[in-house]
Amino acid sequence: MFGIDLMDAAFLPAALIALAAGILSFLSPCVLPIVPPYLAYMGGVSVTEMAGGGARRRALTAAVFFVLGLSTVFLLMGMSISALGRALGAWQDTLTKASGALIMLFGAHFVGVYRIGFLDREARMEAKDAGGSAFGAYLLGLAFAFGWTPCLGPVLAAILSMAASGGDVSRGAALLAFYAAGLGVPFLLVAAFFPGLRGVMGWMRRHMGRIEKISGLLLWTVGLMMLTGQFTAFAFWLLETFPALAAIG
């Protein structure tokens, strides 16, 4: 898969973490509340109309192109940051430790130990008159990936740091693909099963604080493992405990 060895550089646990990070990004306060209106706008329908089969299909089609748009940006980010990490190969160990420390810093922000002001601000890009077409939804996906980066910053920066520390372009692209899947697939699920998921989304909004703390704890733990060199050891433990995982890819 992606032309890389999953056994190399602890890719498997890193991929699972990237997937989980994407899901946590979807559940963040700046993404989850805007999902229904975004889907409705992209499909050229109202939120109320999304309950109907035809309107829901239009919203789902738009959501597919939206996810392709944001995935395009994240894949390019992954390849770029990995190429930079490869160029700094002589300092790979230092880069890994620095990435771990940075991830721990972001994790503490999410847990609430302190707040990093610029990470709480949102910089949104709007694609005007883009609703109701597949190409417009793709443009909105591009705009979303760029415009919401400050809001997604801590989690996204953590995954980019992991990609950079690997120093392999294919690996970096793969990690960001898993992150994009974690963020994008829930959009598709909401589009496909709306309004049945309204209750679930309402529950998630009510527990947003806990979700933030869980994501912060995950980031802090990953950062500590990278800083202490235990991430690769965890990868081998995971593969020894669950041998079937070695067959993936």
Calculate the average pLDDT of the chain.
75
CA–CA gap between residue 228 and residue 247 (Å, rounded): 28
In percent, how much of the chain has pLDDT > 70?
73
CA–CA gap between residue 193 and residue 54 (Å, rounded): 13
Q: Is there a contact between 177 and 75 (Cβ–Cβ < 8 Å)?
A: yes
For residue range 61-111, list pLDDT tens digits in order: 888 999 999 899 889 988 888 887 777 666 667 777 777 787 788 778 777
For residue range 151-174, list pLDDT tens digits in order: 666 677 778 777 777 667 788 888
Domain ranges of the chain: 22-243
CA–CA gap between residue 96 and residue 102 (Å, rounded): 10
Q: What length is written for the chain? A: 249
Long-range (24+ apart) CB contacts under 8 A made by 87-94 are 88/167, 89/167, 92/165, 92/167
Nearest one of 141, 115, 106, 107 to 126, comparing CA atoms: 141
CA–CA gap between residue 19 and residue 203 (Å, rounded): 22
Higher pLDDT, residue 100 or 185: 185
